Structure formats: structure tokens, C-alpha cells
Structure 1
Amino acid sequence: MNGRLATMAMAMLILMLSALAALAAEEAMPQAGVLDDLRGVVTARQEGAPPRTIPKGGPVLVKDILSTGPEDRGKIVFADDSVLEIGPDSEIRIEDFAYDTSDRDNFRQGLKMAKGLFRYATGKIVADDPDHLKIESPLAAIGIRGTTTDHMITVRETIQDGVPVRVVEDELHALRQSKAKTEVVVTHLNKRTILKKQDMAASLKPKTPAVSRSLTEAEKKAFAAIPLSPAPFDPRPGSSLTGGGQ
């Protein structure tokens, strides 16, 4: 009996320490936005802290690594009204965020995509200065001037020397909604690909120069699966007219 009580006490202590670590992470890092909408589960974790499940309306913190499962999707609205939508089986890190309306020099936003599907719509930070936004993927740096973009990072999970390794196979970064002076700049292998037209994309592979091309109908449909509410430019299920329309 004493052994069982000791085991139970140890388990309770571990749970308490985990909860305290999660609370400390939330207190240490500022809030960047909220999980505005949700289907399934969005999990967040901070380095050195246990993962936590974010409820609808719950806080998203700077340095959070956000992940979804095969059936999950989530929509994050940041304090500057920019929007990040996360598709199924995806992972992204909120690298940096500051939106101090009393100090316009303290505007910044940083996102690091690791794998999966994402849609990003710019907010007040980019409207003030596009250089305040930094979006990175495993293969590229992406600069955005006032638009909505879609991103697809395809990876292969493997084992090397007994250690799990994630290998990037290809990426696709697309301009999805055209506005005045819209521009997306994708830098890969030290070369820039500039996208200025709706449904144009930069297609990347690890050791191959980027290719600029139009999205296929299949790719438009894949991107349409990201948001919980489709955008006007998304294909509609069962429609014979797919994608690209204003």
C-alpha cells in the first residue's frame, strides 16, 4: 500500500510540475493573438514545457510551436488583425510578434513554417511597413506586401542513425488574392522569385532553382481545404468553375 501511495504521490507531483511549467511559459511569453476558430485540436508547446491544447478563443503566445493532426484545422487572429489559418497535419512556430500602438517602431511579426498547409492574410503591421514581417519556411524566406498567400510544405519523416529526421521534399508558395501594389517575394538559394498576379506560385525543391508558374486546379482545391470558411477565390465543392475568380 505504501508503495502504491508513493507512486500516486509521484504522479501527482509530476502533473503539478507540468502544469506549473505550462503556466510559467504563458507568463513568460507575451500573447500574439487568439485561436479564433477551430475544428478538431490545435496543440501548442514552448521549448522546455509540456504541450497544451488551445481552446477556441484561447491565447496564442510568442514562441508557440503550433501543430495539428490529420483532421484538424485552426484560425489565429493576431492583435494587428492579420490572420493565419493552419491546415491539417501542419506545424508552425510563432517566432516573434509585437504590436505596440503607442510605438510604431515596435511593430514586428515572424512566422516559421515547418510542414503542412497555411493561409496568411496581412494586417496592420504589414500595412505600416512590409519589412516588419518575416515569414520563413525550411527552403525560403517570404516577403509579402498586402495580400493573402497560401503555403504548402511537403516533408518525409525518416530515421537516420536511430534518430527521427524530417526531410523537406518540396514547397509551394502562392499569391492568392490580388490588391493594389500586391507583391510576394520568395527567396530560395539566394535568388528571388517575385509574384504579382493572383494564383501565381513559386515551386521549390531543396537543390533546384525556384520555378514561377500558375497554380493547378488540384492545388487550388488543396489550398481551399485550409480555411474553415472558404474565401471568394476558393473553388466551391461540386462547382464546374474552380478557383482564381475575384
Structure 2
Amino acid sequence: MKTCRLIAGLAALMLTPALPAQQPGEMPVPTKVMIVGTMHFANPGLDYRNLAVDDVLAPKRQREITAIVQALSRFSPTAIGVEWRDDAASAAYAKYKNGALPPSRDETVQLGFALAKLSKIDAVHGLGMPADLPFELAVAFAQAHGKQAIIDRVTAVSDKNVAAQEKSLKTKGIAATLRLLNDPVAANDTHSLYRELLKLGAGDDQPGLEATATWYRRNLGICAKLMQAIKPGDHMIVFIGAGHLTLMQQCVRETPGFSLIDARDYLPH
């Protein structure tokens, strides 16, 4: 009986809108969130397949980045979220504002910090949630159980995506590549590969499930930090690796009071 009452109480809470009190007839203040999926400018080599980015500190690339930052500023952001841990982001941004941060090729600095400073934002929110994806166990299972074709498909799609991104970067520039990365249909096609990993397992041995669950948990953690950082009425831009785009957009769409803004509506052509 206690369990039933607890479930009923939780259900009642879930049905109660968690919105700020408003005067009769007053419209809710919209909270807008833009997720900008990016490639890794500094080539850290942390993904399954990695896009090689030339020196973004070169004058040509700096002009492109400046144009991107100025275009995004039209959204009038009041908050910036980045993929770094909060303490690291806060300390580095404080130095950046004072001109004391050494030159950095990282997209957090080049895009997130630059836009925050241009928008006169006092601090950035570090939303990073590092996690070790146990992908190797899924690969080992595939090799041992005649399911290498699943890993080959993941590799082929990843290689195809990286090739398209490298071509875009070389021929069209950073903004065009960001527009490519922020196509939600293409991003979801790539994200669906995690469903393929779920096929790798049998009985209680579920390495594909473990890899996928770790990825989902990481993104849920980033979503939680976003919701804890944002305030009603904010215009928040989150800069994050493009692989997170599908789940982070889902986070925003499914959160009451949030409005998802398509980054492509602001990125320059």
C-alpha cells in the first residue's frame, strides 16, 4: 500500500507543471535552447572516427570563426553551455575574459568563450560528463560470435560521415561543416547505430547494451546539468560534440517550458 501511495504521489507531481507563478492572463516567458553540434577543432582523437581539422588559429579560419560567432550572437544568448567540466570551464573563461588564457584551438574556447564574451555573459556553464564507452567489449563479442558485419557497418557509416565532413571543411569552410553536422536527420541516422550495437549480446552477456547504456547515461547527465544551469526566460546556446546532437535535442524537446532552436537558422551560409 505504501508503494502504491508513493507511485500515486509521484504521478501527481509529474502532472503538475513546474513553471514559475504567473499573474492571470500573463504569458509564460519562453526558455529557448540552441544545441550547436561541433567537430573537435583541436584534433584530440577521442571519437571512434575523427575528423582532421587544420589549424583554426590560422587567419583564414579565424575570420570564419568570427563570422560564426557574430551570426550566433543574433540569438541574443544569455547563457552558454560547453562540454568541459564546470570548474575547468569557469576557471578558463575567467582567464579568457581577462586576456590571460593562452591561445587554444579548442572549440569551447573558439566558439563558446568567444560568444560568451561578445554577449557580455559573466560565466559559462560546464556541462561535461566524461565517460569511458566500453565499445571494445562489443567489438570482441562481434568477432567471437560471427557478427563482425555489425561493427563493419558502424565503421563504414562513421568513415563516410568523416569523409563528407572533411570535404566540406576543405571546400566550403567551418560554417558549412557545422551546418552539415547540425542536420537532425543525418544526425539521427548516425545515432541509430547505437541500436545496431544492441544486437551484440546473448543472455546475461550484453556488451552492446552496456556500451549503449553508457552513452545514454552520459547524455542524460549532460541534460541534467543543462536543466540545473538554465533559468526561465534564458536564451542558452550549448556547444557540444555533434555526436550528442540527437539526444541533446531530445532533452530540450521533452523538457516542459523549453523551446528548441535550430542552429542552422543562425549559422552563416
TM-score (norm 1): 0.22
Kindly indicate whether structure 1 or structure 2 has the higher relative contact order, using CA contacts under 8 Å at least 6 residues apart: 2
TM-score (norm 2): 0.21
Higher helix proportion, which one?
2
